[in-house]
Amino acid sequence: MEGVIAANLAAVRSRIEAAARAAGRAADNVTLVAVSKTHPAASVRDALAAGHRVFGENRVQEAEAKYPALREAFPGLALHLIGPLQTNKVRDAVALCDMIETVDRPRLAQALAKEMERTGRRPPCLIEVNTGEEPQKSGVLPTAADDFIVECRDRLGLPIEGLMCVPPLDEEPALHFALLREIARRTGINVSTISRILATLVSGGLVEHVTATGRYRLGMGVIRLANAAGERLDVRSLARPHLEDLASQVQETITLSVPGGHEAITLDFVQSPLSVRSVAQVGRASAAHATASSTGLRSERAMFSISASSSASASSRGRTSAGIASRPAI
């Protein structure tokens, strides 16, 4: 059976390449989804052994029975749900599938948005459009598609990647695909949309989706990465040469500070050779001069500040803000 499946895959890929050339497209921009519904796991494994990685299943229950073990053996496997999805199976579908191709009604869209918000896992979705307006088929009607797409994408924040239809058997499919293309044009859907990138960032905790507004913001993952980097950064060693150089230039005590509560905390300082006594002490709140300024740059969002002061200097040149390194708001 493995040889037969490998031969069939080669034949289909050859047809795709020929069609892509005729259309002036690159064949690797076309994704072949092998429909594995009703086929045993052994057949899927043969297709995987032949190099294929993208599969489609109609029912969540059948997918659950076959794919967890296959995914362990073939980590690059991608599973699309291509059949109707009931709301009571949304949790399982979001956990298992890498794409959901059959978003077709508001209640399902709301359930998907809620589950994705709960888990942080955001498989890309396709809106199913019933382009033939056939009563026996699922899908939103073309006349309602624009509003439904806007609802799913902009209000619910679903990662909508494109549109899908199953044309009537006795009609020219190209006409239905042309209708999908027009709907996509009107609503701004593009297969190269940023939604897949956002879904990846959300799953990694780097971006959070705000359901109330449909917008995205930086997530806790970015903050954790920044904190981890900060823990491995010896700021005092990095700053010390600059402190010494600055002290020699301005002949004043130079203090390195970091915000701490309501006042800056001294991390390090270099005393001016002309100072009688420095008021700076490591670990204590910086003296008033550390937050005063006469020239230079200040920011409430500073991670570190370097200040120069002659408040305890034998010379009485006053106070000077010597520089600051700012951290972008997160």
* pLDDT tens-digit readout, 147-191: 999 999 989 999 998 999 999 999 999 999 999 999 998 998 864
Q: Are 76 and 31 in contact (CB under 8 A)?
A: no
**In the structure, what pLDDT confidence band is assigned to residue 316 with cuts at 50, 70 and 90?**
very low
What pLDDT is recorded for position 209?
A: 67
Q: Are 231 and 245 in contact (CB under 8 A)?
A: no
pTM: 0.59
**In the structure, what pLDDT confidence band is assigned to residue 215 with cuts at 50, 70 and 90?**
low
* pLDDT tens-digit readout, 266-303: 777 787 666 544 555 555 555 444 333 333 333 333 34
Mean pLDDT, all residues of the chain: 78
pLDDT of 119 higher than 50: yes
Alpha carbons 174 and 179: distance in angstroms, whole number: 9
**DSSP strands (E only) in 10-94:** 34-35, 54-57, 78-81
The residue ranking higher by pLDDT, 152 or 241, is 152
pLDDT of 330 higher than 50: no
Q: Looking at 17-21, 146-150, 193-197, which range is the least confident one?
A: 193-197
Q: Domain 2-222 is of which CATH architecture?
A: Alpha-Beta Barrel (3.20)
- Give the residues across from 273 on adjacent strands: none
Q: Are 276 and 314 in contact (CB under 8 A)?
A: yes
What pLDDT is recorded for position 221?
A: 72
What pLDDT is recorded for position 192?
A: 47
Q: Are 327 and 302 in contact (CB under 8 A)?
A: yes
pLDDT of 325 higher than 60: no
Domains of the chain, by residue range, sit at 2-222, 234-326
Mean pLDDT throughout 63-89?
A: 94
The residue ranking higher by pLDDT, 6 or 263, is 6
**In the structure, what pLDDT confidence band is assigned to residue 240 with cuts at 50, 70 and 90?**
confident
Distance of CA 186 to the CA centre of its chain: 25
Alpha carbons 153 and 189: distance in angstroms, whole number: 10
